[in-house]
Structure 1
């Protein structure tokens, strides 16, 4: 094996070994790594002060989680907090627990951050999953130990952020939120593992090169998610760390995977100036309600972040001509915060209905098909393909169409196109895929396909 390949394999193995150790400690198979030092050098008064400060932070974290666990409950003895928390989470069903991790097989590290490590694993029986654990070597852990000189207390403090995320994932169940499949928690050292469905990191560069229909789906999924978050069981939820890296793709669907920075807090105000939203290039001021709250602030924050991180890049480019005016309306309304989430969702659903029904193509003449001979129940062989962009195939020109009329219109706009085939394959909207070609040699039976050939090139069939 080449030296470069060996080095790459060793580096991958080293990273994976860190992930494996972080996961296995949840099962008490690891040993506690004592971080920091010099505790004996501290004066008793200094040590007591640090422990008190760390205890205060732990209490504050728990006070943040309790209202999420049971809205309306604000006080509870901290000595029973852990048992009640995990007991309520598992009371509604039988999710995966610590036992599911005993025979798991780690595959690769999917990501790491200040607080958490995400590991792709295969559970017992070959079931795929993603595990979130505390990053024992992350910045949050290192800073805490440096400041408080208490590795065990710091592990509990850092784990509380993952505990909050587990609670939020349990409470905010939605098709566009990653599925919480279980958790492992409750040992004396406060370790927590979240067991999630497995997704793939969102690749914006890849999305930018994908067909408009797929980019529209991502934006539609996001708007449906934000509509749910605006009226969730916990109230209006703001995503404070709104970035594409907080999302993954699962079977073509966009899903939110990081919720530890989600907030359900309402912003109090005395005047409108207290209800300001500040972004790098725009500022907005909302109204202060008679109740003394900036109502709608969380919702508006989410909408504008969706506009600047997703809509701007994914929505307008190569939108179907019959829909461009509706896309422009969405861009203007969200970019200026003139629409609430209900209006935004209605606008997206309207575009979807038009696109699926083909009503946006009403100006295409029916006569466009007169120039084609059709062979039903057939497909082609010995094809001479050409490439177009964006295509569902990198080797040819495969596009989503409403039907034969739209496909014929596209073929007529491509100088090299002499025929197209409507296949039995369909996109997520139910629209068939059409393959466009410059030539072919044979026709072969295929009950799910139809071949359309320009009459001017019908001699190719002889």
Structure 2
């Protein structure tokens, strides 16, 4: 067996290495630990910074959400009253999808009497079976056709009659678009030609509508107070609808009482061919006027005055119906409510929606006041 021989110098080097190796190991271990500690400290600092940034971002989002919640709460509060008021308003009229009378059915209508001869059409009463209708058609005897013939604008007399037929047809088209419980319903339409004839089956254009009793203001004035309020409420609901229709905001241009009828006690607009869905223009100073007076409305970019039609309707309704019907003969117990309503309307403090609500409240007050108290029956009463 060979023995490992080390020289004295190598022996001393080897012994020195063995002696110092624990110290080197400790030093290397300390160095690695310090390095790991530095790395851990750096990682910890980075993580803390990330957490701080995340917390800061969450706090920022929380503030934004609180602001958004506040805005939503304010918006809900703002529209709460409007939602409540609109919930009290009458529901929109259902679209009339029923079948209307065609030419063959209209030909069987028997004309029973003449009702009226207006500016643009003749109105007659017609009967079909057990039902009665208002039958409207053009005639050479109506004013606009007569004026056209007398002016000599057209060589042919028949050309002027086309104008009358157009007015009748326009009314039918308006009734197809404007459907509301306080506007008469279109029940029949026949378009054949431009002919004029006393015979219904030979007429060019015939329109059939609900038949009602013409409104006469002096007759309405003789009704009991509750019935007057009911008529005014019908009118207010109509104005509320006309503020925003499929045609836009619509103005009633003819406020004669004969433009309205009573159908089963309900007031309805019977003549719609004269309605106007265009808002009036601003004046040269970009002001919106009603009856040459400032209206409080602003001129729009298209140089029209939005809201004028609605305000004008309220003004005419007060003058022609509300004031005459509610302004006199008020029972003392309803005087305060009624006079306050008229004053607010006169000061332009009410819009059509407000008017509906105030009249509904007045109706409820009248009914609660006039309702008889319940019978006080003794408990020991023997039946």
TM-score, normalised to structure 1, is 0.55
Contact in 1 for aligned 2:139/2:161 (Cα 8 Å): no
Deviation sequence 1:53-82 (CA, Å, 0-9, x none): xxxxxxxxxxxxxxxxxxxxxxxxxxxxxx
Contact in 2 for aligned 1:286/1:297 (Cα 8 Å): no
Cα distance change of structure 1 residues 144 and 208 upon mapping to structure 2, 3 Å threshold: same
Matches within 5 A, 1:140-289: 140-146=144-150, 147=152, 148-187=154-193, 189=195, 191-269=204-282, 274-278=287-291, 283-289=293-299
* 2:121 counterpart of 1:111: no
Q: Quick one: higher RCO (CA 8 Å, sep 6+), 1 or 2?
A: 2
Deviation sequence 1:397-442 (CA, Å, 0-9, x none): xxxx31158xxxxxxxxxxxxxxxxxxxxxxxxxxxxxxxxxxxxx
Q: CA deviation at 1:272?
A: 6.6
Q: Name the SS of the counterpart of 1:184 in structure 2.
A: strand
Report the structure, 1 or 2, having the larger helix content: 2
Q: CA deviation at 1:158?
A: 1.7
Q: Return 5+ residue gaps in structure 1 as ranges.
A: 1-90, 362-400, 406-449, 451-462
- Provide the residue aligned with 1:403 in structure 2: 372
Q: CA deviation at 1:230?
A: 0.6
Cα distance change of structure 1 residues 311 and 127 upon mapping to structure 2, 3 Å threshold: same
Report the structure, 1 or 2, having the larger strand content: 1
Partners of 1:187 and 1:92 in 2: CA distance = 26
- Provide the residue aligned with 1:346 in structure 2: 357
- Provide the residue aligned with 2:142 in structure 1: 138
- Provide the residue aligned with 1:87 in structure 2: none
Q: Name the SS of the counterpart of 1:183 in structure 2.
A: strand
Q: Name the SS of the counterpart of 2:175 in structure 1.
A: helix
Cα distance change of structure 1 residues 194 and 323 upon mapping to structure 2, 3 Å threshold: same
Q: Name the SS of the counterpart of 1:239 in structure 2.
A: coil
Contact in 1 for aligned 2:286/2:299 (Cα 8 Å): no
Partners of 1:402 and 1:110 in 2: CA distance = 39
Q: CA deviation at 1:271?
A: 6.4
Cα distance change of structure 1 residues 202 and 93 upon mapping to structure 2, 3 Å threshold: closer
Q: CA deviation at 1:286?
A: 3.5
- Provide the residue aligned with 1:126 in structure 2: 130
Structure 1 runs of 4+ aligned residues shifted over 6 Å read none
Cα distance change of structure 1 residues 304 and 122 upon mapping to structure 2, 3 Å threshold: same
Deviation sequence 1:356-415 (CA, Å, 0-9, x none): 3x1xx4xxxxxxxxxxxxxxxxxxxxxxxxxxxxxxxxxxxxxxx31158xxxxxxxxxx
Residue correspondences, number = 270
Q: CA deviation at 1:325?
A: 1.9
Q: CA deviation at 1:319?
A: 3.0
Q: CA deviation at 1:203?
A: 2.1
Q: CA deviation at 1:99?
A: 1.2
Which of 287, 305, 308 is the matching residue for 1:294?
A: 305
Q: CA deviation at 1:191?
A: 2.7
Q: CA deviation at 1:221?
A: 0.2
Q: Return 5+ residue gaps in structure 2 as ranges.
A: 1-95, 196-202, 376-383
Partners of 1:295 and 1:166 in 2: CA distance = 27
**How much is the aligned-residue C-alpha RMSD, in angstroms?**
2.3
Cα distance change of structure 1 residues 402 and 271 upon mapping to structure 2, 3 Å threshold: farther
Matches within 5 A, 1:30-45: none
Q: CA deviation at 1:302?
A: 0.6
Deviation sequence 1:173-196 (CA, Å, 0-9, x none): 111001110111132549321101
Partners of 2:105 and 2:325 in 1: CA distance = 39
Partners of 2:215 and 2:221 in 1: CA distance = 11
Partners of 1:227 and 1:99 in 2: CA distance = 37
Contact in 1 for aligned 2:184/2:209 (Cα 8 Å): yes
Q: Name the SS of the counterpart of 2:114 in structure 1.
A: strand
Q: Name the SS of the counterpart of 1:249 in structure 2.
A: strand
Contact in 1 for aligned 2:185/2:210 (Cα 8 Å): yes
Q: CA deviation at 1:315?
A: 1.2
Partners of 1:122 and 1:293 in 2: CA distance = 46
- Provide the residue aligned with 1:368 in structure 2: none
TM-score, normalised to structure 2, is 0.66
